[in-house]
Amino acid sequence: MYSKDILIGIMLSSAKPEIQIVRDDNAGIGYRVRLKVNLRGENLFLMAVRRTLYQHEISCALYSVESKARPKPILRVGGIKNIYKLSQMLDLGLHDRTNTWPLFREAVNIVSNGEHLTSEGLDSLFNLKGLI
């Protein structure tokens, strides 16, 4: 089990936040937005991180095999409530190694406010991803 400060350091240095915008004809606007955070490492390390996240009431999933092509463990944090709690835990003044957390935090705010369901909100998500 890790302290909150160590968990923040792990998330800033090793975790990879991901914004997925997928074409979906069943969605109202034609796209579906998925936010998730992936953390790769050894199984014991990921189990300790999972325990620490659970103590902060953040649910996550630990897979012993990511895929056939990558048979290594992965920890995934998904769901807007869990992602929102995790992004609020990270300070705004801290910088990560690839500077992806500030953009991800903006995407979390857009999705948590429901703005991704409008064309303006979806356009801002495309801008964050650098697709427009």
Give pLDDT tens digits for 83-111.
Answer: 999 999 987 677 788 888 888 999 999 99
Domain boundaries, the chain: 4-129
Per DSSP, the residues of the chain read ---HHHHHHHHHHT-EEEEEEEE-TTSSSSEEEEEEEEEE--HHHHHHHHHHHHHTT---EEES---SS--S-EEEEESHHHHHHHHHHS-TT---SSS-HHHHHHHHHHHHTTGGGSHHHHHHHHHHHT--
Q: Amino acid letter at 125?
A: L
At CA 95, angle to CA 94 and CA 99, rounded to 5? Answer: 145
Give pLDDT tens digits for 38-63.
Answer: 999 999 999 999 999 999 999 999 99
Give pLDDT tens digits for 60-74.
Answer: 999 999 889 999 999
**Residues 19 and 33 sit within 8 Å (Cβ to Cβ):** yes
The predicted structure's pLDDT at residue 129 = 84
CATH, domain range 4-129: 3.10.28.10
Per DSSP, the residues of 65-103 read ---SS--S-EEEEESHHHHHHHHHHS-TT---SSS-HHH
**Residues 52 and 2 sit within 8 Å (Cβ to Cβ):** yes
pTM, rounded to two decimals: 0.87
Provide the percentage of residues in the chain whose pLDDT is more than 70.
Answer: 98
| Residue 23: pLDDT over 90 | no
